[in-house]
Structure 1
Amino acid sequence: MKNALIAATLSTMALAGAPAARSESITVSVAGSAASVLADPKNFTGSVVVDMLLPTSLSTPASSALVSFAPGARTAWHSHPLGQMLIVTAGKGWVHQEGQERQEIRQGETVWIPAGMKHWHGATAQNAMSHYAITYIKDGKNAEWMELVSDEQYQN
């Protein structure tokens, strides 16, 4: 019965145009095997460290990183062509959708940012914050970077 269900599911996926499963090996990325990088000041304000989770040679429709913000640090305004998921791993921060009130985010919370939504995220003024960012890729691009968040925008 189980095999029949799997076969039916695969058949349905094929009819729906789903990509065929690839034959790849499991990849384990050793902690610390990729160097931490300081985030680009064109796209971030303050001290932000990015640790990529998967090697760039891995073929995947998403990028993933652990992003650590010092107090007061944040992204620039930006959007994602297919959305982004944040999983807060430490501290306290903010996420802010353009035209809305900023929202506080804390360790253990998950944030979904829909495709095309202009937003920023980062630490609060008093607390550091880290999150895993899983960002979906379309046509080789995972983000559209815009202007830096001003101190006035950040404080409100």
Structure 2
Amino acid sequence: MKKGFLLSLTLLLVNAISAQEQSLNTLGKQKLQPVFSKGQKGSVKNFTGNAYNHPLIENDSVMTTLGGEVYFEPGARSNWHTHPAGQILVVTAGVGYHQIEGQSIQIIQKGVTIKCPPNTNHWHGASKDQGMAHIYLLPNTEKGIVNWGRPVTDEEYQAANN
């Protein structure tokens, strides 16, 4: 039942995003508008650059799922981190990167869905020239939410731009 709920929710959100997405073109670079309000700026302890979180699904003891939209300004990225029960990302706008430790960096863009397995060290963020927004879903939150690690170094991030 929970998998069906998450799939239905994901499809609903992707359809809503497609219907509402707006973008501006500034100096030849696409400036993105998140689907939802920008939200609260992420902590400098967990993000490099400007990232904003807009909560969408409040965690509770029945659905044990947490979700929201994160908007990363160009060049912004999360620290390395893990989720005890894994994470699902649905990219809603822009271009960015996702990397699981020990694997190559993936270029991600609107319409891409990422499933990050439980307790897998990873990071994600915007490209250097374009912002990126994604919806995150954290299932089975009774196992925990997130364990933050060290910042992604400039060298690690630049590897995506080569």
Tell me the TM-score range normalised by the shorter chain: 0.7 to 0.9
Q: Distance in 2 between matches of 1:110 and 1:57?
A: 24
Aligned with residue 84 of structure 1, among 80, 83, 87: 87
Q: Distance in 2 between matches of 1:121 and 1:112?
A: 12
Which amino acid in the other structure matches residue 130 of structure 1?
A: A
| TM-score (normalised: structure 2) | 0.71
Q: Distance in 1 between matches of 2:55 and 2:87?
A: 15
Q: Distance in 1 between matches of 2:140 and 2:38?
A: 22
- What do you get for the CA RMSD once the two structures are aligned? 2.4
Larger radius of gyration: 1
Aligned with residue 109 of structure 2, among 101, 106, 119: 106
Please report how far the alpha carbon of residue 62 of structure 1 lies from its aligned counterpart in structure 2 after TM superposition.
1.4
Aligned with residue 51 of structure 1, among 54, 68, 71: 54
Match of 1:37 in 2: 40
Match of 2:148 in 1: 145
Please report how far the alpha carbon of residue 140 of structure 1 lies from its aligned counterpart in structure 2 after TM superposition.
5.8
Q: Secondary structure at the match of 1:153?
A: helix
Post-superposition Cα deviations, 1:38-78, rounded to whole Å, max 9, x if no partner, equal 11111111010100002456743111010000000000000
- The 4+ residue runs of structure 1 with deviation greater than 4 A are 56-59
Q: Distance in 2 between matches of 1:67 and 1:55?
A: 15
Q: Distance in 2 between matches of 1:50 and 1:68?
A: 7
* Residue segments in structure 1 that go unaligned for 5+ positions in a row: 1-12, 14-30
Match of 2:136 in 1: 133
Identity, % of aligned pairs? 37
Q: Distance in 2 between matches of 1:35 and 1:55?
A: 17
Which amino acid in the other structure matches residue 101 of structure 2?
A: E
* Residue segments in structure 2 that go unaligned for 5+ positions in a row: 2-34
CA contact (8 A) 1:67 1:130 kept: yes
